[in-house]
Amino acid sequence: MREIKKRIQSPVYMSAAKPKQKNKLMTVKNLTETSADLYIYGEIVDNSDFKWDEADVMPDDVLQALNQVEGLNNLNIYINSPGGSVFAGIAIYNMLKRNKAKKTVFIDGVAASIASAIAMVGDTISIPTNAFFMIHNPWTLAMGDANDFRKLADDLDTIGSGILNIYMENTKEGIEGTTIQGLLDAETWLTGTEAAKYFNVEVIESKKIAACASEFLSKYDKTPQELVARVDSPKWADSKIEPQQENLKLQNELDLLNL
């Protein structure tokens, strides 16, 4: 039997409905002598020569951006992402973690799946009352025999333990690992106010920023209906991009560089 190569990700993000676009690098916004802004406003994808959407973020994007901000005192990280590749997300988290700047994370609309783990890199994490924060166990699609699936289950448990450790570094005093694991097991969607019950986040006033309406969100089991409705709306079907992402796209057209 020909061996089927398995790919672990959370969740599968490849979609034939999206045309591939030539990869463009993320650039740093509002760069000064002391601070800079970094936007993670799309799906988290593995390094490749192409992206499914300009807003998608790869580890290479973040590495390029961090090379521009080395030595700065403050790094503001804005997140509006449905998640994506676990391995790409962990790489991004570790790269950001190594940067010595004080990191302030702003969850603008949604930080779901591995994007919520990336958000945990902040020394300060701000989330509006109307934003969403979702955590769940890593999952994948695979083919193979019984031995393959036994090993795959063990691998997923190992990966899940690593992600749990990231969340536990930012939990409120007294919150046990079993509590967070229960939230992961259940695929838990939290508003800003609810997230503050478990994690060291600062709840701020609601913002008029639409959550990223990626098709990715429809792949989860418990996506809030207001987000599902946004993905399914005719406006989203026609444009495939939310207003704040359209503004970011226009800005990127001015300052992003082709590989």
Q: Cα–Cα distance between 9 and 207 in angstroms, integer?
A: 31
* Type of residue at 246: E
Considering only the C-alpha atoms of the chain, give the largest distance between any 2 of them, rounded to a whole number of Å: 59
Which residue among 85, 113, 126, 214 is the active-site one? 113
Any catalytic annotation for residue 136? yes
Q: Phi and psi for 199 in degrees, rounded to 5? A: -120, 155
SS3 209: coil
* Type of residue at 78: Y
Which helix or strand (DSSP H or E) is residue 37 part of? strand 35-40
The two three-digit tokens of residue 175, written as one number? 């919150």
Neighbours of 237 (CB within 10 A): 11
Any catalytic annotation for residue 10? no
Which residue among 10, 81, 116, 136 is the active-site one? 136
Sequential DSSP letters for 112-144: ETHHHHHHTT-SEEEEETT-EEEE----EE---
The two three-digit tokens of residue 247, written as one number? 């503004």
- The single-letter DSSP state of residue 29 is B
Q: What ranges make up the beta strands (E) of 41-177?
A: 50-51, 74-81, 102-112, 124-128, 132-135, 140-141
Cβ atoms of 90 and 98 within 8 Å: the answer is no
Cβ atoms of 166 and 93 within 8 Å: the answer is yes
Catalytic annotation, residues: 113, 136
